[in-house]
Each structure stands twice: as structure tokens, then as C-alpha cells.
Amino acid sequence: MKKIVIAFDGRHFSEGAFEFVKLLNEKQAVLVTGVFLPVVDYAELLYSIGGISGPIYYKEVEMEDTGIVLSNIKHFKTKCEHAGIEFRVHQSLDKHVISELKHESRYADLMVVGSELFYENLGNSTQDDYIGNVLHKSECPVILIPENYKHPENAILTFDGGASSVYAIKQFSYLLPELIDNKATLVFAGTGSEHIPDLDYVKEYVSRHYNDLNIFKLQVNPELYFNTWLMDHSNSILVTGAYGRSAFSEMIKKSFITNVIHDHRLPIFIAHK
């Protein structure tokens, strides 16, 4: 049995993230810990720009948020009970969201985050910063889940020959073998006549985990066309070692939050050392 942390920002309950956890539980029973984070950062932001009326508004927002958090916790418990999922609830009172999630991730196999709703009230750029920090600081793999997505039937394994991409492929294969029915596409993003590095090695490894394996070399500039290629694979989950040091990982790190998640609605599995 795996332990999965699902993180909610307090104001928002991600139905997409919960449905994904429910799917995993249907395939193999899991223990789910719901982490409900405060919206204190938002209130502090309002306070810092609110001038003399800031403290009063802060208290109003804080009281309202407490009620929303308690309502979301009740909703989470009810859904877990109806789905037959073993669960725990951690309600964080710590204002430091990233440090709290880092601590939670240390004692989990996997963290699930609803990518569209996680602190969306802070605005796009700040929300992206929060998600980026969660990915960077997490001590376990993270899956970002949009609210609307197709059931993943194929794993897109991004590969650039570097240790980071191979590590992500291994972690996905170890943690979620039941999610994909032995079907995967290994994608190498290169240009020109560049050969796939260590092709025999990676093929030998990945084919042990996926009977139906397709190896694909993206012949175009990945920075310009990788997201276009993904449009034809909407029933997939993207596996990447983003936040590593390789060129492909750096490309994904810069663009995948806004382009892949928001435009293509793909679940994304991210693992880094």
C-alpha cells in the first residue's frame, strides 16, 4: 500500500486531483493524507497593500477562510468514505506553505496537486511560482492534475540521456505500474541528425516495464513544437525529470506549467533527485 499526499490550498477543493487518487485506489488500495493549507499568504498580501483598513480585512478573510477549510475537510472525508479510501487529514496552521509540503512529502510515496486551483486566487504568475517551488522542494515525486483530463492510457516518457530523465522514468515505473496497461511512448527531443543517446540501454530497461513500447524521436525544435506534438496525445500522462540540469528538462521547466497544463490538460508526473 502506498501513501499519497493530496494537497489543497484551503479555499479550493480540486475534484480533478481527488478523482485521480480515487482511480489509483481502485487499481490498488492506498492511504491518502489530505493536507489542507491556509490561505494566509493571500490575506497577508491584502494586508500589505490594504493600508489602514488592512487589519480589519485580514481578520474577516481569516475567519472566512477557516470556514471554507473546515467545509473542504468535511467534503474530503465524505468522498473518501463513499469511495472506500483509507484516509488521514492534516490541517496545517503553518503560514509557510512550501516548507509544510516539503515536510509532508518526506513521509509520502507520492504527492498529488490540483494544478489549476492550487492558490489560483494569487494570480497566474504567483500561482506558477508556488507550483514551481513545490516541485523543486518536494522530497517525493509529484503529479500535477488539471480539473478536466482524459483517463491516461499511455505514459509519455521524456528522455534526453541524462540521469534526471531516467530517474523520473524509474520512479514512475516503480510507483504506478498499475496506472498504465503496459503502454508507453519514449520521447527523445532532438534536432537534425542527432542520435538518441544510450538507445540500447534505455530500450532494454524500459521494455522490461512496458510490453507495448514506442520509441519516438521528435525531429523538430522541442521548444517550439513539443507542446504541439502533445496535442495529439491527450489521453496520456507526461513523465519528466523536470528541474534537472539537462537541456530538455530546462526547456520543460520553463514552459510546461503554462503551456502543457493550462493548454493541453495532461496529468504530469515529475520526479527529481
Kindly report, residue by residue over 230-248, the tens digit of the pLDDT.
Answer: 888 888 999 988 644 444 4
Residues 87 and 209 in one domain: no
CA-CA distance, 34 to 76, in Å (whole number)?
Answer: 8
pLDDT at 204 over 70: yes
Domain boundary among 85, 113, 145: 145
7 and 133 co-located in one domain: yes
Q: Which residues contact 176 (CB under 8 A, 6 or more apart)?
A: 24, 110, 269
Residues 167 and 266 in one domain: yes
Q: Are residues 174 and 138 in the same domain?
A: no
Q: Which of 124, 36, 107 is nearest to 74 (CA)?
A: 36
- Distance (Å, rounded) from C-alpha 63 to C-alpha 78? 23
Do 266 and 161 share a structural domain?
yes
Question: How many C-beta neighbours within 10 Å does residue 186 have?
Answer: 25
Residue 169 has pLDDT above 90, yes or no: yes
Let me know whether 141 and 9 are in one domain. Answer: yes
Residue 251 in this model has a pLDDT that exceeds 60: no
Stretch among 4-18, 44-58, 227-241 having the lowest mean pLDDT:
44-58
| Of the residues 145, 167, 183, the one at which a domain ends | 145
What are the Cα distances from residue 77, in Å, to 35, 85, 87? 12, 9, 8
Answer with the one of 145, 162, 194 that is the final residue of a domain.
Answer: 145
Number of compact structural domains in the chain? 2
Task: Check whether residue 44 and residue 121 sit in a common domain.
Answer: yes
User: What are 123-158's pLDDT values in tens digits?
Assistant: 555 556 666 667 777 899 999 888 888 889 899 998
Torsion of CA 178, 179, 184, 189, to 10 degrees: -130
Instruction: Tell me how many degrees the CA angle 108-114-115 measures, rounded to the nearest 5.
Output: 115
In this structure, the answer to whether residues 49 and 95 fall within a common structural domain is: yes
Which pLDDT does position 257 carry in this prediction? 46
Containing structural domain, residue 98: 2-145
The CATH number of whichever domain residue 242 belongs to comes to 3.40.50.620
Same domain as 207, residue 100: no
